[in-house]
Amino acid sequence: MSPRHVISLRDLTDADIEQIVERGVRIAADPSAVRPVLAGRVVGVLFTKTSTRTRTSFTAGALRLGAQVIAYGPNDLQANTGESIEDTAKVLGGMLDGLVIRTAGPPAEMRAFAAHCPAVVNAMSADEHPTQALADLTTLSSRFGRVKDLRVLYVGEGNNTAAALALSLPRFQGVELSFHTPAGYGLAPEVLREAEDLAARSGGRVAERHDMDRLPEEVDVVYTTRWQTTGTSKPDPHWRDAFAPFQVDGAVMDRYPRALFMHDLPAHRGEEVTAGVLDGPASIAFDQARHKLHSATAVLEWCLSS
């Protein structure tokens, strides 16, 4: 088996996603199932933006799989002195077995690395956070015993996490995914169209509204993310006024007494979510974070083990 990339969820088949998620669920249920199948391999971890959960999960996952890890910070490579991405990628590709990257650059930058490096993993780019979605699917499957037929309400910005959810959740049979995003901060139109097409194929539904009126009658999960996405800023100085109605508070959760609350973290209590919700009994946000390790381990196995 040749090394495989996880750059965009668009590149993965339904079977690929299901395989990674099922493996993550098995690892979560029994961490001793992890074997040193990457012994003798070297994995680079290049993060040009801050990270707590994703960087730790991929580093710990690689080590538990028996690989050695080289970590690069935002100022460590000669790309900062003018070397091209292509030249950097050629060098790293000749020395590493896999490369996990977080960048705020365009998708073409990630593809440039993948052209020369085996097994490139997108640990977050400006437009998509595929490994977050894979961790979320692992969380949902672990908690509910399934992903199909779940009803998910996403509240907040149509950012890279929202895009990843839109490109993954509707692949599962009967999923209903409702986005409520501030006007001007919704999903990219092409992502929304793709999500609608995926839902039509699988017998589900995807919809987006730009208000907090007419929320779904029943949901299994309420999901939000930080309003100020990591590594980004908003040109409108009054953007918080547009976001204020989209806070997930007790009133939102009271509409769905049996729903669970998810957040990709980090969280700003008092902004996108109240402390009472994030720290309350419905919240599985920190279990969700823990599942990033299990999912990252599954991703690395899928990409690198032969």
Q: Name the CATH architecture for the domain at 132-289.
A: 3-Layer(aba) Sandwich (3.40)
Of the candidate ranges 32-41, 72-81, 86-95, the one whose mean pLDDT is the lowest: 72-81
> Where do you find CATH 3.40.50.1370 in the chain?
9-129+292-304, 132-289
Rounded mean pLDDT of 127-147?
97
In this structure, are residues 101 and 128 in contact, taking their beta carbons and an 8 Å threshold?
A: no
Residue 233: the pLDDT is 78
Residue 230: the pLDDT is 66
Q: What angle do CA 4, 289, 217 make, to 5 degrees?
A: 105
Q: How far apart are CA 12 and CA 130, in angstroms?
A: 10
Residue 161: the pLDDT is 97
Strand partners, 122: 101
Helices then strands, counting H and E runs in the chain, come out as: 11, 9
CA distances from 209 to 19, 176, 214, 280, 301 (A): 32, 14, 9, 27, 38
Amino acid at 287: D
* pTM for the structure as a whole: 0.96
Q: How far apart are CA 127 and CA 27, in angstroms?
A: 29
Q: Tell me, rounded to whole angstroms, the distance of Cα 115 from its chain centroid.
A: 23
Q: Name the CATH architecture for the domain at 9-129+292-304.
A: 3-Layer(aba) Sandwich (3.40)
Q: What is the tens place of the pLDDT at every residue in 237-257?
A: 899 999 999 999 999 999 999
Q: Tell me, rounded to whole angstroms, the distance of Cα 212 from its chain centroid.
A: 24
Q: Which residues contact 283 (CB under 8 A, 6 or more apart)?
A: 260, 261, 262, 263, 277
In this structure, are residues 120 and 113 in contact, taking their beta carbons and an 8 Å threshold?
A: yes
